[in-house]
Amino acid sequence: MATLKEWMATINDDYLIKLSNKGVFNRSKRELPDAGVNAVLEDDALHATFGDGTTVSITGEPTNYVCSCPSRTICKHVVMALMTVYDPTAAGDGAETEAPPPPVAKPQKPVKAKAPKVDAEIIPHVIELMEEIYRIGLFRLPSEYSERCAQFATLCHGAGFAVLERLFDTAAKEFELYEKKSSSFSELSLVGCLARIYQFCRGGDYAETAGRFKRQYSELSKLPLLGLGAYPWYAKSGYLGITAVFYSPEHRQTFTFTNARPQAAANRNALDELKQVPWNVPANFTNLSKSDLVLFYPKISEDNRLSSSESTSGSLVQLQAKLEDVNPMENFMDLKPLFDCKRGVNSLYVVLKVHSLGDGAFNEVDQTYRAVITDANGVSLPIVIAYSEINETAISNFEYMMMNDVVPDAVTANVSLSEENFSIEVFPIAVWMDGKTRNIGYETLYAVEEEPDKEKKDGRIKKEKGYARFFT
């Protein structure tokens, strides 16, 4: 039997196209120069590591591979690993370069997500948002509409409107370019996109025109996850949601799951329903977001959103994930190469190991709370929490930590990057202290009687106001 090194002598471009497909091949060839691949070819094995942490091992023959990425079919990483050690000009032998069939014991192939029944309840909220944008004026809008459009894309997906999801995704990207003053921003593209959204909502016959989802979902047989925390969010159009963030040690990537519903139903019972989990796991959303669990037959999208089917189930290993198991980042300088490896990605979920916390203050001019976290090497990052009713509890928790000299062991955060000047902002989701995780967006770190003194808090946060009290 031929060794892998002997196989490599017969492999050329045609073979790799047959092994994967032309799209994967072209993408692999395009991304290879910036992928940071370090490959070692042994007699019967090929081991490769990528700049983003992905690892590939190939033994015996090219179809016998293991890749740490979530893809369940042959992926760009396998193709790029082979590209680093093959001779693209090799003549090859017709019989030898025929791609052998993949091993029988493969996970299920990706399946397209079925378009759910449309929920027209979201349409009035979309119309309200569009009319709000046109009423205020495109160039007088505050810098929050990229995030709002991204949230609406998620909501439209859940409501079954594939067309609206794609349009809102496009609008979110254009708004982000505008907010960053990028030369790539296209006013014509953004206005046209918003006009199509409004026209769709006014057209009726939603079930016939909702479209089908293009997003590919892969169904995995098993996915171990570690909960990193959860945070509530509120769209001004009237939707309240909770997003949980998980880390997969196997794939070394983060995954998210979101529940959302109209704010009109956001009483105590509705919020409790938001915290329910659709995987038959005996835990509420809060406990699940911190736990060590295993999902069976979950579906994951290309952007690592977790979904489910009737066959999806889950099992709790323990209620509290361990900090040392979630790969916390100890050196904040590692964020830059991490963003460099994920080109085009402007925000990441990470767990940051904290050495000190300081400089906490609320700015009444821009209504934003800011603090600074520092790693053991003295590198600092800014905590930034824009004031809103939904963020009151998070701000209160940071003020409590500042006034009582409490330093968390680590912070789960959404870290965003400005490509213009490489400025980083950290939005905190959860804190890790004494072996426990607390979701600071809706769990208080203090007893009610310990709430930070209003006189020491710039007289801003009103006790028991808005949604903060619903979550406690």
Say which CATH number the domain at 299 has.
2.40.50
Sheet with 313-318, side-by-side order of all strands: 253-262, 239-248, 222-235, 292-296, 313-318
Same domain, 341 and 457: yes
* Start-to-end C-alpha separation, the chain: 65
Same domain, 319 and 334: no
- Nearest-angstrom CA–CA distance, 66 and 59: 9
Burial zone of 11 (CB within 10 Å; 0-12 exposed, 13-18 middle, 19+ buried): buried
Residue 111 belongs to a domain: no
Q: How many domains does the chain have?
A: 4
Residue 419 belongs to a domain: yes
Q: What is the pLDDT of residues 132-157, one digit of tens each?
A: 888 888 778 777 788 888 888 888 87
pLDDT, position 236: 56
Residue 112 belongs to a domain: no
SS3 318: strand
- Nearest-angstrom CA–CA distance, 366 and 427: 16
pTM of the model: 0.56
| Domain termination site, one of 55, 79, 106 | 106
**Contact of 278 with 258, CB cutoff 8 Å:** no
Same domain, 344 and 466: yes
Burial zone of 152 (CB within 10 Å; 0-12 exposed, 13-18 middle, 19+ buried): buried
Residue 454 belongs to a domain: yes
Residue 432 belongs to a domain: yes
pLDDT, position 306: 87
Regions of the chain where pLDDT drops below 70: 1-2, 70-73, 87-117, 204-217, 235-239, 262-276, 339-345, 418-422, 447-472
Same domain, 74 and 96: yes
Same domain, 334 and 429: yes
Residue 47 belongs to a domain: yes
Percentage of the chain beyond pLDDT 70 is: 77
Same domain, 307 and 242: yes
Same domain, 306 and 335: no
CA dihedral of 417, 423, 428, 431, whole degrees rounded to 10: 110
pLDDT, position 455: 46
Residue 341 belongs to a domain: yes
Same domain, 303 and 335: no
Task: Please list the residues that pair with 437 across neighbouring strands.
Answer: 432
Same domain, 205 and 223: no
Same domain, 167 and 297: no
**Ramachandran angles phi, psi of 167, nearest 5°:** -65, -40
| Domain termination site, one of 209, 229, 245 | 209
Residue 113 belongs to a domain: no
**What is the sign of the dihedral through the CA atoms of 431, 433, 437 and 443?**
negative
pLDDT, position 214: 52
The boundaries of the domain holding residue 272 are: 216-324
Percentage of the chain beyond pLDDT 90 is: 20
Structure-token match 């619903």, residue found = 470
| Domain termination site, one of 262, 295, 324 | 324
Tokens of 48: 């490769």
**Contact of 328 with 353, CB cutoff 8 Å:** yes
Same domain, 181 and 290: no
